[in-house]
Structure 1
Amino acid sequence: MEKKVFVRDVLHTLDKITGGRVVKSAEDYACGKNPFVVTKTSNIPGKAVTELPGLIWGNPDQEVKKIAVLMTLTESGIELAGATGVDAIVAHHTIADAANSGGVLLKTYLSLYNIALFELHEAFHGLHPGISYLHGHKAYHVDIKYGGIPGNIMYVGEALPEVKTVGDMLTRLDKLMNTEFEEQFLAKEREIRGCDAIEETSVKARGKILVGKGDNPVHKIIHIFPHTGFTPEHLEQAVKEHPGADTLLATISRVKPGNALIAKAEELGLNFVCGNSHAMEIMENGLPLARAIKMYLPEVEVVIFRERVTSIPLEAVGSASIQDYAAMIAQDFLVK
């Protein structure tokens, strides 16, 4: 007889995966009790959100036969879960009531489809060396508050034996991310929709070289995340602390032309490479998490909800009739 799995079993599994980091009782909400219960804010009134790794909504005694793993919960994810028989959603990023559920309450929306909801985020970070591995290096030094700034993460690593040049780094990424397929898929979508102006994140924000050439050698890599507050002064100090560094790698976020980090990399004689954007985190964190859940709970079906975002010119969206509808609504009700 096949073993039944319940919501409480999923919570226990996530606790094992994270090494005990999830919220398991009311005591974990106490100030400082669980370091992964953290409030994040840009000081915009009313927009702060608190991370609560573990079960966000659901009955611990509910049976679970199908789990969906995704990065960021949206109403589209909830609707897909409801339409495909998903009993539990495991979201990587922080959940905010209504914001992640189409402007309506999580409790009413999720209860309607009988879906349990979990989140992990910071409780999952730091558990594996995946982002370094994907980009072709093995980190020997990690600083999670470089320059004294909490969250300003910097890795320093040695290139893997098979990664000898800057070009090897990008070739490796393209193969792992299946970029050729994504390009073909986008080309087919443009053809079907009759619109060459459609863009898609994984193709448009793929890895690229900002400073250096593809055949430049790579040995020691300083790996940063620009959105965390890494500055040119930090880079100058990091090069002093790690002699022999020849390549600067930016992942998750990236810099645009004119950014001071580019000029500093040139000044210091570094290659500068942009790797995976945040849009590819489903591969870095989502896929390993889903695999781990399946290994612990082989009785449960596990699926990946992968977000695909495209940019389409206003005039090319939808059918002629929906375009007429939009023009009518705008003209008669919205343009005063």
Structure 2
Amino acid sequence: MKGTRDQVDVGNVLEALNVISKGRMVMDWNEVTSGTNPYVVTKTSNIPGKSVIEIPGLIFGDKRKPVSRIGVGMTLTESVIELASAMKLDLIIVHHPVADAASSGGVPFADYLPLYNLSLIEMHEAFHGLHPGLTLLHGHTKLKTDIAFGGIPGNVLHKGVALPEVHTAGDVLARIDRFMGREIDQDMLEAERAIRGESTLEEATISNPAKLLSGTPESSVKHILHFFPHTGFSMKHLETALQMYPETDTIIVSISRVREDHEFVELAKRRGLNFIVGNSHSVEIMENGLPLAYALEMLLPQVEVFLLRERITAVSLKEVGHSQMVKYGRDMAEMHLISKPTQAVQIL
């Protein structure tokens, strides 16, 4: 591969990603317009103007541009762009599809990314199903995978069997906590609460632990269906899958989650099945991002690769701890956002 020479460019990175994805990347823009690449798909909720076309390939930048520092992330945001700028990265590779303004602080890529000399590649559907990591983290070996269950691109269903060391639902939950290092995130959150003086501070990873919604920790686990509710997986899909695999005793959902009263859980309870909600979307950077980053490092050893992990927190407005910014926020709200308009403004 060309990337073995001393100087790596964006084109070499794209070639490496094509090796990793088993030939799924868009290497020629004609694949987008011709419909020949099955991983170029449109995602839409039928809200006018809000659909997006996923294009696993180079979205912004020049293939000939030299690359020495790459950031691998899940979702492009203005925070990711600003971090990449501060770190003087040459290229950002994200898992999820990107869109002008929505992924770049409300402005077009063409006005923002050139400021920091950043190129941009996305992957998403082209990366799905390439490794068994998500299933192994959740305690099973996948026997079959359908990445378009029910004919819906990205609607992934894994049929798996429990690992030899996994016997019960409690084993699955303990395995997830151990692998994901939840105690580290919990310690960080407690320290931040103390430092900021914000006792109600919450963090996305800690707020969404793995849970058992049907069954008991002692319930046996052997035959597993594992899917991701946010991909369009419906009740009809679940019923079909259970008909296909009647031996199923455990349902695992991860990345996205359902609540205790969801119809999936009610079905599991009626049929005496275990129902486990596993890792949330906030840790997919570790589940999918980390393997991708290491694969790039192995194929392109001359390039330095960084993992771009966003950490999302929330705090009650009554507890925001930085007094100077509290005063600023209150002043702006009172003097400019809720005050009565002047006569001049009324005339306008």
TM-score calculated relative to the size of structure 1: 0.95
Deviations along 1:70-104, one digit per CA (max 9) or x if unpaired, are 00011111111111111111011101011111011
Residue 343 of structure 2: aligned partner: none
Residue 63 of structure 2: aligned partner: 60
Residue 16 of structure 1: aligned partner: 19
Letter in 1 for 2:145: V
1:35 aligned counterpart, secondary structure: coil
Asked if 1:182 corresponds to 2:171, the answer is no
1:49 aligned to 52, 62, 78, which one? 52
Runs of 4+ in 1 over 6 A off after TM superposition: none
1:285 aligned to 264, 275, 288, which one? 288
Shift of residue 149 of structure 1?
4.8
Shift of residue 257 of structure 1?
2.2
Q: 1:199 to 1:276 in 2, by over 3 A?
A: same
Residue 98 of structure 2: aligned partner: 95
Identity between Structure 1 and Structure 2 (%): 50
Letter in 1 for 2:227: I
Task: Give the Cα separation in 2 of the matches to 1:44 and 1:20.
Answer: 32
Letter in 2 for 1:225: F
Residue 168 of structure 1: aligned partner: 171
2:177 aligned counterpart, secondary structure: helix
Shift of residue 317 of structure 1?
2.7
Residue 257 of structure 2: aligned partner: 254
Shift of residue 327 of structure 1?
1.0
Residue 275 of structure 1: aligned partner: 278
Q: What RMSD in Å do the two structures reach over aligned CA positions?
A: 1.8
Letter in 1 for 2:108: L
1:183-332 aligned at under 5 Å gives the runs 183-332=186-335
Contact 1:315 1:323 in 2 (8 A): no
Task: Give the Cα separation in 2 of the matches to 1:253 and 1:71.
Answer: 14
Task: Give the Cα separation in 2 of the matches to 1:99 and 1:144.
Answer: 26
Shift of residue 52 of structure 1?
1.3
Contact 2:129 2:145 in 1 (8 A): no
1:127-166 aligned at under 5 Å gives the runs 127-147=130-150, 149-166=152-169
Task: Give the Cα separation in 1 of the matches to 2:189 and 2:31.
Answer: 46
Contact 2:125 2:154 in 1 (8 A): no
Task: Give the Cα separation in 2 of the matches to 1:149 and 1:55.
Answer: 24
Letter in 2 for 1:228: T
Task: Give the Cα separation in 2 of the matches to 1:59 and 1:151.
Answer: 29
Q: 1:173 to 1:46 in 2, by over 3 A?
A: same
Shift of residue 153 of structure 1?
2.7
Shift of residue 230 of structure 1?
3.3
2:161 aligned counterpart, secondary structure: strand
TM-score calculated relative to the size of structure 2: 0.92
Matched residues, number: 336
1:116 aligned to 92, 96, 119, which one? 119
Task: Give the Cα separation in 2 of the matches to 1:29 and 1:233.
Answer: 32
Contact 1:73 1:91 in 2 (8 A): yes
Shift of residue 232 of structure 1?
4.0
Q: 1:8 to 1:143 in 2, by over 3 A?
A: closer
